[in-house]
Structure 1
Amino acid sequence: MQARAHEQGFDVVRVAPADAIPEAGPRLAAWLAAGHHGTMSWMADTAERRASPKAMWDKARSAVVLGLNYGPERDPLASLADPLSATLSVYARGRDYHAVMKGRLKQVAGLLAAKSGADVKVFVDTAPLMEKPLAAAAGLGWQGKHTVLVSREFGNWLFLGVILCEAELPPDEREGDHCGTCRRCLDACPTQAFPAPYQIDARRCISYLTIEHAGPIPPAFRSAIGNRIFGCDDCLAVCPWNKFAQDGRDAKLAARSDLDAPPLEELLGLDEAAFRLRFAGTPIRRTGRDRFLRNVLIAAGNSGSAGLLAAVGRLLDDPSPLVRGAAVWAFGRLAPGAAVAAAATARRGTEADASVRAEWDAVADCPEPRHERA
């Protein structure tokens, strides 16, 4: 099985008993009770099945956890220094890992089933299975203070897949916690999404806000988002364990050059058809054009560039209220005060959507500080 896994491009494979994470259920229950899941209602709806692999498939006796290295070739935070470009999470800069990994997992699972004579099931972040605790139990790494799996060999950059098996396989040794007193990941978070080490409040997390959250981004977090338009890698990228990461990113997961710091102005011009074409085969397409443009507009408002004002202004008339509302905020940040007041007066009375009217009220009554960037 190890040889087949490596043939399929996986960098590491380990085994844990299917009942190896009894602590996962209570931790999940406490996280949900605190409301830290935000609007991700499916987390609560599937909590009982998430508590244990055996709760989802009672015949499971072993969990084979596989990791695929997707480490970036350069500093993933470098584009944060250029406010006119966009910063996308490393995992979203290439082909959707779900599609890539599932076929490979099936190849490994097929061999496992043939050799063991047992039934198997394959999972790639598409079912209520808690991969990170299972990966830690299997010895791939440990969940760091930012709750992400950290590997001594691959740092913070492992995609995870799981094969549940009816057979009882020899388990690997659990990995210990090697974070020590380090708290770089916690201190790096732009929105202070970690109420305590090993805890995350998704409602404050930029990855949640720009990907999972469907409505307007709360005003309190907009400035802190900067030019992060899809996810956030700050807490991952600053981890000291990354310096030990092995180079070996799979060519099929290599980043696309057009997704490495693309210009904001270019992205602001995407209509539905252009969005679908540009992001075909990537995780970004699943989010949808409207939510994506909402994020780009927040970045535009944070850019301080009057050069983006025309592109932002065109989106004030976008068919989507979500896009229009974000365009109002960006317009309020970039346009001269008199222009903002005039636009608010002209548009508030004709705007049909209450959330967009509220954005006009906000920029008219409490105008944002104007930026001086050319």
Structure 2
Amino acid sequence: MAAAELKERIRRWAEAEGFDAVGFTTPDAIPEASARLAAFIADDRQGDMAWMRDTAERRGDPRRLWPEMRSIIMLGKNYGPDESPLARLDDHGGGVISVYALGSDYHELIKKRLKAVARTLVRETGAEVKVFVDTAPLMEKPLAEAAGLGWQGKHTNLVSREFGSWLFLGAIATTAEIAPDTAGEDRCGSCRACLDICPTRAFPAPYQLDARRCISYLTIEHKGHIPLEFRAPIGNRIFGCDDCLAVCPWNKFARQASDAKLQARPHLRNPRLKVLAELDDAGFRAMFAGTPVRRAGRNRFIRNVLIAIGNSGDPALVPTVRERLQDPSPLVRAMAIWALRKLVPPDEFAALAAALAPAETDLEVAAEWRLE
């Protein structure tokens, strides 16, 4: 079939599967991405994410993943919230979960629909295909920009004129020759809203991110104890952070997600910190079944919850925190100590330290009792 007709039919197939944005590019369209990634890794800005260093060579050039690919179809799925997530930060007794994690896990949802579009493409053209949803070393955001879905803003995330900051991305690589679309044009201008709002100053410069300072990284990817300097700025964010996304002026064109599976589950809208801190592993898995939150695991998640409790200023939560001093996880015990330091008078904390610190066997946890 004619090239123009093929592109139009692919768009229709994608729209029929619920995708909101479709664009086309080629695997050689992002030559600058490899150097940018190398500079990011050279500065160790990836933190614990060793997989970024391990896959950097393949990540920098899509053809290293599959030399036979000739075209890449980039697809976007809107997950816009029904309210600004910034408003939830004022509820200090509740925990704030990133918008993307309030509904069903997008990986499975999008992969199923990508496969449906890909199967139709194979059936109609005989081309070979591979699908990707944030799991293979493929640089989706630069490719989405190259495909015309938007542009990478100063916060390094994709911004869309039609959907603002709220697009999940998926890709179909294919051996079919498809004419690329015009790349997205940077429309950030002189705006610095995303840079200035960041609580931990995670942007060393526009279009650069230091993941080690990013709340999303710290609360989701980071496996260890969260550095002291970031605990207060985390506030009540217990899984991810949307500040730099939510403040973007282009969100004035955003719309609420139409897919019910991507809309917020009611019980995940600012759940009570007390309830969350009391979750055991089974309770955690049950509460967050089918959502991205489960990937953090119970211990890391409760670590985050205890930081939020420490920042809440609510002494009524002290009994809940004291229960976590006996938790099997060093991550949890350490943050319980920090939260107590924030919530109880200094003399009371000193008495607790004198009584409990000598029995602590984990050196990093024991050090929490001595922090000033």
Q: Is structure 2 residue 156 aligned with structure 1 residue 147?
A: yes
Structure-1 separation of matches of 2:293 and 2:169: 19
Structure 1 gap segments, 5+ residues each: 367-374
Contact 1:71/1:247 (<8 A) preserved: yes
Cα deviation 1:125-170 (Å, max 9, x = unaligned) = 0110000000000000000000000000000000000000011112
Report the equivalent of 2:321: 312
Report the equivalent of 1:4: 13
Report the equivalent of 2:186: 177
Structure-1 separation of matches of 2:241 and 2:365: 26
Contact 1:19/1:61 (<8 A) preserved: no
Match of 1:80 among 85, 89, 102: 89
Report the equivalent of 1:371: none
Contact 2:86/2:246 (<8 A) preserved: yes
Deviation at 1:247, TM superposition (A): 4.1
Q: Is structure 2 residue 73 aligned with structure 1 residue 64?
A: yes
The letter for the 2-side match of 1:354 is L
Contact 1:146/1:186 (<8 A) preserved: yes
Structure-2 separation of matches of 1:79 and 1:309: 23
Contact 2:81/2:256 (<8 A) preserved: no
Report the equivalent of 1:203: 212
Match of 1:284 among 267, 279, 293: 293
Structure-2 separation of matches of 1:16 and 1:101: 19
Structure-1 separation of matches of 2:115 and 2:283: 33
Structure-2 separation of matches of 1:253 and 1:48: 33
Structure 2 gap segments, 5+ residues each: 1-9
Contact 1:29/1:47 (<8 A) preserved: yes
Deviation at 1:21, TM superposition (A): 0.6
Contact 1:63/1:162 (<8 A) preserved: yes
Structure-2 separation of matches of 1:200 and 1:286: 23
- The sequence identity of aligned pairs, in percent, is 61
Report the equivalent of 1:345: 354
TM-score when scaled to structure 1? 0.96
Deviation at 1:101, TM superposition (A): 0.6
The letter for the 1-side match of 2:22 is V
Contact 2:257/2:263 (<8 A) preserved: no
Q: Is structure 2 residue 221 aligned with structure 1 residue 212?
A: yes
Cα deviation 1:216-235 (Å, max 9, x = unaligned) = 10000000000000000000
The letter for the 2-side match of 1:120 is V
Report the equivalent of 2:55: 46
Secondary structure of 1:152's counterpart equals coil
Structure-1 separation of matches of 2:126 and 2:31: 27
Report the equivalent of 1:122: 131
Contact 2:202/2:211 (<8 A) preserved: yes
Q: Is structure 2 residue 34 aligned with structure 1 residue 29?
A: no
Structure-2 separation of matches of 1:163 and 1:45: 23
Report the equivalent of 1:191: 200
Q: Is structure 2 residue 23 aligned with structure 1 residue 14?
A: yes
Structure-2 separation of matches of 1:157 and 1:276: 26
Cα RMSD after superposing both structures: 0.8
Match of 2:113 among 81, 93, 104: 104
Secondary structure of 1:159's counterpart equals strand
Cα deviation 1:253-303 (Å, max 9, x = unaligned) = 111011111111111110111000000000001110000000000000000
Q: Is structure 2 residue 305 aligned with structure 1 residue 296?
A: yes
Report the equivalent of 1:137: 146
Deviation at 1:194, TM superposition (A): 0.2
Contact 1:84/1:303 (<8 A) preserved: yes
The letter for the 1-side match of 2:339 is A
Secondary structure of 1:171's counterpart equals coil
Secondary structure of 1:77's counterpart equals helix
Deviates more, 1:166-175 or 1:128-137: 166-175
Contact 1:77/1:87 (<8 A) preserved: no
Secondary structure of 1:199's counterpart equals coil
Cα deviation 1:297-336 (Å, max 9, x = unaligned) = 0000000000110101100100101100010000111112
Deviation at 1:246, TM superposition (A): 3.6
> Cα gap change, 1:303/1:247 in structure 2, threshold over 3 Å: closer, same or farther?
closer
Structure-2 separation of matches of 1:87 and 1:336: 27
Structure-2 separation of matches of 1:25 and 1:350: 50
Match of 1:260 among 246, 250, 269: 269
TM-score when scaled to structure 2? 0.96
Secondary structure of 2:359's counterpart equals coil
Contact 2:81/2:257 (<8 A) preserved: no
Secondary structure of 2:76's counterpart equals strand
Secondary structure of 2:245's counterpart equals helix
Contact 1:141/1:149 (<8 A) preserved: yes
Report the equivalent of 1:357: 366
Structure-2 separation of matches of 1:9 and 1:332: 49
